């Protein structure tokens, strides 16, 4: 935290200090570094190692200035990035002091001695602080006539980061980031003197989930991303501010486009959310768009059972005929923008006349539905609450795997002031270890909750019956802050847009007549369906037994819901709105191509409930957003939803606003009785950040740093089965089995944990469920 932020956050008066820099007076809080005080005046001192979010290091020495305190000058120029301001300090930068200027020029010349002259091929060329500052503060000519030091180049320190050691200026930004911010000290400075270089440990590759940030903050081209290497130069990229579509953390992003193709994504700058960081998935997982074959033309299934390309009017007419006056449901998927989710929500109510709509393409429960409609919608917890929390409780939530930026925020407080963290995870994952999380087996172990505590629940809590009820009680009793952080970016927005069986947009309960009148008036329709609709699993069940005839499906992977989801669809009329060919389009009767994130504008809601708006990155795309296509479909069906554009939709959402009436009551559920396990083990799982997810397709370099799948069991259990660490075990259920190497860790003897969707461990496909009892034997 910089002193400026501290000033905002605490009410304690902060001592202000006035210094003179280059003859100008500036008053800054005590503790401010000279280099920042100069920035405040608009005086730029060249620097490489200094980064406002990292601790001062004074490694590069480029920021030397002449300093005098109380009339006594320092004998030599000082690094302005490590010296805090003092009273009566007079600073002379390169602008007014020849000593400082000469010192900076000398350092620059020194840094350039061994820096190769390969700017023409270097990825950083054109946006390189070294290039720029060599021009602004370097000497025009080099006096060096020797041979430059060379190293083997590039060496890959992980599959996604390459290191050119000869370009390194030893600023230690990367190593400091990894240690201070990410807590993954896999990268260090080795050797001393002229031989000093950045390196990795022999045994541990640089497999951090945040390694991409080191590439972004490297002030030279020493660290480069494998997938961007030599792809483009900064001057022919068009940069667009965007939002990350991967998780509900809500990172601000920058997307760099060249001729209609995303070439790279960088972390955007939003101090209240992601500061300046993002995770590797957000940074590098964008090739899903070019990986699978895009659907570009509408397709309908002919009498021969094959999909045939057709025109838009024909496809829309065919879809409308199959949906009109039929009993139909809507599966939205967790990746829609708020506007698209609103489109699905309105389409279900107005065009299909049903509340059978659900955004949850994952295991879910009625208890969760109730929790979402009563509790989750009205939460006001933010990142700031984590910053000032006295305790963080993680329930059904692995921050590093499921919301990496939330993890960074918690880790920041853990490393700064040893913030206590509790987690209900079955074993201490790498993330939990870094947080020093205390594992708890049930909620009754949570003590000392105050109004400053933050309880974070994840989507996996729906898999434990009664868990949401216990949390609800806990929060009511203690007054602690509650946050619901789902894994997917679209879920908070879809909930607010009413893409759930119990709610209309804005959190209006479908069972409340006043709420229905409210929405019906805004939509200019006479009435809205009155009864609570079906959830995802109920819709699929109803389709299977012919209680529903048709279904409209957005971006859904059936294997995220259940192993039988796809077969349940086979007997009904399926309208699929998709970007590329998928399991759903393979069985769909009508496939309508929609725009991918870079081709449309829209917004996501992050888990705090604040909108992350983004604009079209590719202006001349022919693809249309889901809401536009649904609007066309509704027109054809004769019950228009009047949402022709994304901006019109956003306006309608804004004018509708939030519900201020009484919300529905939370229906509590009772926890399940623990059944007798016998020889079986209780299966626990969650998804790893980097796994087989659809949106990570096509990026082999990213997949290369995914954590290896292994089954975790306790030592006693391992002995009982007779396996040692690293040996294969076979995990089986009635529906199937999988084999994984074993990893022994501290955990309960009756539990086994496996990753949910990694290579060799796709739990829903292999075992048929995510939570249940499995037989474990040595393979």
Partner 1 sequence: MTELTPRPDDLGLTAAAKANVPIENQNAKSFFAQLQGFWVTFTTMFKKVTTVEYPEVKEPMAEGFHGRHQLNRYDDGLEKCIGCELCAWACPADAILVEGESNTEDARYSPGERYGKVYQINYLRCIFCGLCVEACPTRALTMTNEYELADDSRSKLIFEKEDLLAPLRSGALKPPHPMAEGKTHIDYYRGDITDIKND
Partner 2 sequence: MGLEEKLPAGFALTTVENLAGYMRKNSLWPATFGLACCAIEMMAFGGGRYDAARFGMEVFRASPRQADLMIVAGRVSNKMAPVLRQIYDQMAAPNWVIAMGACASSGGMFNNYAIVQGVDHIVPVDIYLPGCPPRPEMLMDAILKLHEHIGNEKLGVNREQIIREVEAAALAAKPTHQLNGLLS
Contacting residues toward partner 1, per CB under 8 A: 120-121, 125-126, 153-154, 229-233, 235-236, 259
d(CA 156, CA 163): 6
At 352 the three-state DSSP class reads coil
What, of partner 1, partner 2, none, does residue 521 touch, CB below 5 to 8 Å by kind? none
Which residue is listed with tokens 């930068």?
93
Q: Of 18 and 142, which has the nearer Cβ to partner 1?
A: 142
What, of partner 2, partner 1, none, does residue 622 touch, CB below 5 to 8 Å by kind? partner 2
d(CA 510, CA 512): 6
Q: How far is the CB of 121 from partner 1 (least distance, A)?
A: 4
Encoded one letter per residue, x for contact with partner 2 by CB under 8 A and - for no contact, window 200-239 reads: ----------------------------------------
d(CA 688, CA 459): 14
260: contact with partner 2 by CB under 8 A: yes
How many CB atoms lie under 10 A from the CB of residue 44?
16
Q: 772 with 756: CB under 8 angstroms?
A: no
d(CA 439, CA 427): 7
Q: Of 121 and 670, which has the nearer Cβ to partner 1?
A: 121
148: contact with partner 2 by CB under 8 A: no
What, of partner 2, partner 1, none, does residue 260 touch, CB below 5 to 8 Å by kind? partner 2
* C-alpha dihedral sign at 694, 695, 697, 700: negative
Q: Of 153 and 258, which has the nearer Cβ to partner 2?
A: 258
Q: Of 152 and 202, which has the nearer Cβ to partner 1?
A: 152
- Residue from the set 620, 673, 674, 679 that interacts with partner 2 by CB under 8 A: 620
Q: How far is the CB of 705 from partner 1 (least distance, A)?
A: 19
What, of partner 2, partner 1, none, does residue 145 touch, CB below 5 to 8 Å by kind? none
Which residue is listed with tokens 């955007």?
268
CA proximity to 576, closest of 553, 555, 551: 553
What, of partner 2, partner 1, none, does residue 231 touch, CB below 5 to 8 Å by kind? partner 1
Q: Of 121 and 700, which has the nearer Cβ to partner 1?
A: 121
CA proximity to 747, closest of 428, 273, 495, 371: 428
Q: Of 140 and 235, which has the nearer Cβ to partner 1?
A: 235
The alpha carbon of residue 485 and the mean position of all alpha carbons in its chain are separated, in whole angstroms, by 11
What, of partner 2, partner 1, none, does residue 230 touch, CB below 5 to 8 Å by kind? partner 1
Q: How far is the CB of 559 from partner 2 (least distance, A)?
A: 32
Q: Of 256 and 385, which has the nearer Cβ to partner 2?
A: 256
* C-alpha dihedral sign at 313, 315, 319, 322: positive
Q: 266 with 253: CB under 8 angstroms?
A: yes
Q: How far is the CB of 143 from partner 1 (least distance, A)?
A: 21
At 287 the three-state DSSP class reads coil
Q: 728 forms bridges with which residues in the sheet?
A: 741
Q: Which residues from 437-456 bind partner 2, rule CB under 8 A?
A: none
d(CA 265, CA 281): 10
What, of partner 2, partner 1, none, does residue 152 touch, CB below 5 to 8 Å by kind? none
Q: Of 297 and 730, which has the nearer Cβ to partner 2?
A: 297
Q: Of 145 and 620, which has the nearer Cβ to partner 2?
A: 620
Q: How far is the CB of 470 from partner 1 (least distance, A)?
A: 55
13: contact with partner 2 by CB under 8 A: no
What, of partner 1, partner 2, none, does residue 120 touch, CB below 5 to 8 Å by kind? partner 1
d(CA 478, CA 571): 50
The alpha-helical segments, DSSP class H, found in 33-172 are: 34-40, 98-113, 129-137
Q: How far is the CB of 291 from partner 2 (least distance, A)?
A: 18
Question: Residue 736 class from Cβ within 10 Å (0-12 exposed, 13-18 middle, 19+ buried)?
Answer: middle
Q: What is the CA radius of gyration of the chain?
A: 28
Q: 270 forms bridges with which residues in the sheet?
A: 275
Q: 748 forms bridges with which residues in the sheet?
A: none
The alpha carbon of residue 602 and the mean position of all alpha carbons in its chain are separated, in whole angstroms, by 17
For 606-642, b/e burial (b = at least 16 CB within 10 A) is bbbbebbebebbbeeeebbbbbbbbbbbbbbbebbbe
293: contact with partner 2 by CB under 8 A: no
Q: What is the largest CA-CA distance in the chain?
A: 93
Q: How far is the CB of 218 from partner 1 (least distance, A)?
A: 18
Q: 671 with 461: CB under 8 angstroms?
A: no
Q: How far is the CB of 165 from partner 1 (least distance, A)?
A: 14
Q: How far is the CB of 306 from partner 2 (least distance, A)?
A: 23
Q: How far is the CB of 258 from partner 2 (least distance, A)?
A: 10
What, of partner 2, partner 1, none, does residue 708 touch, CB below 5 to 8 Å by kind? none
Size of the site for partner 2 (CB under 8 A): 4
Please count the residues of the chain: 779
DSSP 8-state secondary structure symbol assigned to residue 698: T
Q: Of 102 and 229, which has the nearer Cβ to partner 1?
A: 229
Q: How far is the CB of 256 from partner 1 (least distance, A)?
A: 14
Give, in order, the Cα–Cα distances in Å from 335 to each of 190, 361, 606: 43, 10, 12
What, of partner 2, partner 1, none, does residue 465 touch, CB below 5 to 8 Å by kind? none
Residues in CB range of 303: below 8 A, 6 or more apart: none
Q: Of 598 and 751, which has the nearer Cβ to partner 2?
A: 598
Q: Of 20 and 232, which has the nearer Cβ to partner 2?
A: 232
Q: How far is the CB of 230 from partner 1 (least distance, A)?
A: 4
* Termini Cα distance of the chain: 51
What, of partner 1, partner 2, none, does residue 121 touch, CB below 5 to 8 Å by kind? partner 1
Q: How far is the CB of 290 from partner 1 (least distance, A)?
A: 15
259: contact with partner 2 by CB under 8 A: yes
Q: How far is the CB of 224 from partner 1 (least distance, A)?
A: 11
d(CA 28, CA 547): 69
Q: Of 153 and 430, which has the nearer Cβ to partner 1?
A: 153
What, of partner 1, partner 2, none, does residue 620 touch, CB below 5 to 8 Å by kind? partner 2
622: contact with partner 2 by CB under 8 A: yes
Q: Of 303 and 622, which has the nearer Cβ to partner 2?
A: 622
Q: What values do phi and psi take at 58, rounded to 5?
A: 60, 40
In the complex, the residues that contact partner 2 under the rule CB under 8 A are 259-260, 620, 622
């Amino acid at each position: 935290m910089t002193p400026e932020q501290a000033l905002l956050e605490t009410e304690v008066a902060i001592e202000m200090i006035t210094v003179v820099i280059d003859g100008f007076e500036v008053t800054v809080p005590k503790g401010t570094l000279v280099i920042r005080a100069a920035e405040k005046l608009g005086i730029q001192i060249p620097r490489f190692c200094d980064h406002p979010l990292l601790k001062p290091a004074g490694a590069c020495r480029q920021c030397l200035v002449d300093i005098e305190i109380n009339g006594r000058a320092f004998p030599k120029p000082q690094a302005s990035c490590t010296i805090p301001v003092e009273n009566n300090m007079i600073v002379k930068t390169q602008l007014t002091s020849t000593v400082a200027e000469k010192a900076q020029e000398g350092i620059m010349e020194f840094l350039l001695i061994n820096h190769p002259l390969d700017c023409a091929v270097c990825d950083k060329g054109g946006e390189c602080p070294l290039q720029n500052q060599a021009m602004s503060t370097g000497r025009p000519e080099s006096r060096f006539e020797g041979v430059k030091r060379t190293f083997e180049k590039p060496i890959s320190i992980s599959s996604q980061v390459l290191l050119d050691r000869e370009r390194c200026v030893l600023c230690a930004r990367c190593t400091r980031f990894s240690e201070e911010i990410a807590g993954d000290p896999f990268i260090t400075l080795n050797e001393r003197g002229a031989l000093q270089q950045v390196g990795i440990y022999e045994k541990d590759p640089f497999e951090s989930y945040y390694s991409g940030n080191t590439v972004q903050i490297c002030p030279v081209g020493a660290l480069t991303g494998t997938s961007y290497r030599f792809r483009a130069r900064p001057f022919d990229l068009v940069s667009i501010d965007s939002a990350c579509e991967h998780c509900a953390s809500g990172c601000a992003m920058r997307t760099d486009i060249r001729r209609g193709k995303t070439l790279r994504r960088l972390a955007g700058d939003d101090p209240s959310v992601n500061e300046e960081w993002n995770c590797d998935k957000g940074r590098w997982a964008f090739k899903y768009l070019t990986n699978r074959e895009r659907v570009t033309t509408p397709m309908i299934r002919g009498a021969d059972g094959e999909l045939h390309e057709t025109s838009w009017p024909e496809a829309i007419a065919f879809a409308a005929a199959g949906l009109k006056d039929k009993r139909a449901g809507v599966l939205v998927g967790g990746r829609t923008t708020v506007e698209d989710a609103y489109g699905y929500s309105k389409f279900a109510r107005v065009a299909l006349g049903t509340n059978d709509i659900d955004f949850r393409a994952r295991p879910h429960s009625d208890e969760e539905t109730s929790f979402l409609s009563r509790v989750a919608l009205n939460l006001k917890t933010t990142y700031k609450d984590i910053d000032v929390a006295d305790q963080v409780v993680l329930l059904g939530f692995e921050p590093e795997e499921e919301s990496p930026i939330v993890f960074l925020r918690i880790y920041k407080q853990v490393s700064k002031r040893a913030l206590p963290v509790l987690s209900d995870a079955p074993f201490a994952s790498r993330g939990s270890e870094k947080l020093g999380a205390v594992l708890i087996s049930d909620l009754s172990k949570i003590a000392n909750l105050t109004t400053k505590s933050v309880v974070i629940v994840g989507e996996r809590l729906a898999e434990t019956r009664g868990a949401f009820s216990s949390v609800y009680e806990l929060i009511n009793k203690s007054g602690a802050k509650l946050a619901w952080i789902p894994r997917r970016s679209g879920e908070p927005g879809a909930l607010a847009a009413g893409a759930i069986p119990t709610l209309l947009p804005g959190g209006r309960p479908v069972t409340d007549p006043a709420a229905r009148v409210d929405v019906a008036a805004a939509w200019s329709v006479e009435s809205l369906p009155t009864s609570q609709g079906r959830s995802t699993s109920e819709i699929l069940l109803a389709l299977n037994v012919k209680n529903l005839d048709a279904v409209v499906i957005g971006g859904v992977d059936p294997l995220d819901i259940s192993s039988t989801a796809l077969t349940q669809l086979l007997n009904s009329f399926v309208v699929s709105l998709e970007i590329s060919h998928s399991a759903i389009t393979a069985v769909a009767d009508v496939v309508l191509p929609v725009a991918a994130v870079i081709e449309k504008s829209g917004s996501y809601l992050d888990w705090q409930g604040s909108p992350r708006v983004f604009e079209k990155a590719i202006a001349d795309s022919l693809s249309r957003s889901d809401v536009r296509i649904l609007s066309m479909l509704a027109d054809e069906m004769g019950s228009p939803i009047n949402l022709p554009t994304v901006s019109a939709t956003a306006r309608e959402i804004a004018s509708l606003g939030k519900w201020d009436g009484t919300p529905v009551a939370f229906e509590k559920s009772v926890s399940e009785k623990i059944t007798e396990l016998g020889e079986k083990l209780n299966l626990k799982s969650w998804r790893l950040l980097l796994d087989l997810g659809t949106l990570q397709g096509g990026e082999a370099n990213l997949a290369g740093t995914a954590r290896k799948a292994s089954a975790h069991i306790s030592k006693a259990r391992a002995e009982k089965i007779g396996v040692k660490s690293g040996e294969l075990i076979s995990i089986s259920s009635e529906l199937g089995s999988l084999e994984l190497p074993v990893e022994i860790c501290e955990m309960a003897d009756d539990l086994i944990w496996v990753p949910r969707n990694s290579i060799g461990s796709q739990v829903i496909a292999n075992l048929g469920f995510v939570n249940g009892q499995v037989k474990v034997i040595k393979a």
